[in-house]
Structure 1
Amino acid sequence: MSHANAYPYQEVFERYLNRQELAQPTIAEYRSVLADLFNFLSNFNAGYQADHRVATLLDRDVEQYLAMLVNQRQVTNGTYNKMLSHINIYFKYLFTHDLITHYPTLTLKGKSHDDLKTPTTKWLHLMPAILANQQLAFYTRLTMLLTSRYYTISEFLTPGFYRQLHPRDFNQDERTFWQDYQQFITPLQARQHSQDLFLKQRLDGDPHLTAAGLHKYLKPDEKLLGFALTPTRLYQSAVLDYLLQHPKLSDQQLSEKLRLDPQSLNYYRQLAMTYRG
Structure 2
Amino acid sequence: MAFPNEAEFRNYCKQKKKLANSTIDLASRSISTFWRYYSASLESEADITNVQANDIRNFLASLQEKLNMKSNTVNKYLSHLKMYFVFLSEYGYITTYPLLSLRGNYFDRKQEYVINWMDSLPQLIKIKKIHPETIKMMAAIAAGFKPKEITILRTANLLDNIKSSVVRDYIKAHTDYSKDNNPYIFARKNGDHYASDFNINQKITPDRSIIGMTLTTHQLRMSFVYSIISNHQLSDNDVLKTLRISMKSLNYYRKNLTLYIKTTEFQLPKKTD
TM surpasses 0.5: yes
Q: d(CA) in 2 for partners of 1:198 and 1:115?
A: 35
Residues 178-257 of structure 1 aligned to structure 2 (within 5 Å): 178-185=168-175, 188-189=176-177, 191-196=178-183, 198=185, 200=187, 202=189, 205-208=190-193, 211-246=197-232, 249-250=235-236, 252-257=237-242
Change (3 A) 1:157 1:39: closer
Q: d(CA) in 2 for partners of 1:79 and 1:222?
A: 33
* Identity percentage of aligned residues: 12
Change (3 A) 1:85 1:213: closer
Structure 2, unmatched stretches of 5+, are 66-70, 260-273
Higher Cα Rg, which structure: 1
What are the superposed Cα offsets for residues 60-101 of structure 1, whole Å, 9 maximum, x if unpaired?
77546413046666989x867623235559999xxxxxxxxx
Residues 59 and 107, structure 1, Cα contact 8 Å, conserved in 2: no
Residues 69 and 80, structure 1, Cα contact 8 Å, conserved in 2: no
Q: 1:143 is matched with which residue: 119, 132, 137?
A: 137
Report the Cα offset of residue 46 of structure 1.
5.5
* SS in structure 2 of the partner of residue 133 of structure 1: coil
Report the Cα offset of residue 225 of structure 1.
2.2
* SS in structure 2 of the partner of residue 120 of structure 1: strand
Residues 112-151 of structure 1 aligned to structure 2 (within 5 Å): 112-113=101-102, 117-122=110-115, 124=117, 126-151=120-145
Change (3 A) 1:183 1:221: same
Q: d(CA) in 2 for partners of 1:258 and 1:128?
A: 22
Q: d(CA) in 1 for partners of 2:112 and 2:141?
A: 14
> What amino acid is the match of 1:217?
K
Report the Cα offset of residue 8 of structure 1.
4.9
Q: d(CA) in 1 for partners of 2:22 and 2:168?
A: 59
Specify which structure has the higher proportion of helix. 1
Residues 71 and 117, structure 1, Cα contact 8 Å, conserved in 2: no
> What amino acid is the match of 1:84?
L
Residues 132 and 177, structure 1, Cα contact 8 Å, conserved in 2: no
Residues 120 and 237, structure 1, Cα contact 8 Å, conserved in 2: yes
Paired position in structure 1 for 2:41: 45
Residues 155 and 161, structure 1, Cα contact 8 Å, conserved in 2: no
Paired position in structure 2 for 1:158: 152
Q: d(CA) in 2 for partners of 1:269 and 1:70?
A: 19
Residues 71 and 275, structure 1, Cα contact 8 Å, conserved in 2: no
State the aligned residue count. Answer: 234
Q: 2:248 is matched with which residue: 266, 270, 277?
A: 266
* SS in structure 2 of the partner of residue 228 of structure 1: coil
> What amino acid is the match of 1:85?
K
Residues 71 and 274, structure 1, Cα contact 8 Å, conserved in 2: no
Q: Which has the larger displacement, 145-154 or 155-164? A: 155-164
Paired position in structure 1 for 2:167: 177
Paired position in structure 2 for 1:53: none
Report the Cα offset of residue 242 of structure 1.
1.3
Q: d(CA) in 2 for partners of 1:214 and 1:89?
A: 22
TM-score, normalisation: structure 1? 0.62
Pairwise CA RMSD: 4.4
Paired position in structure 1 for 2:47: 58
Change (3 A) 1:184 1:123: same
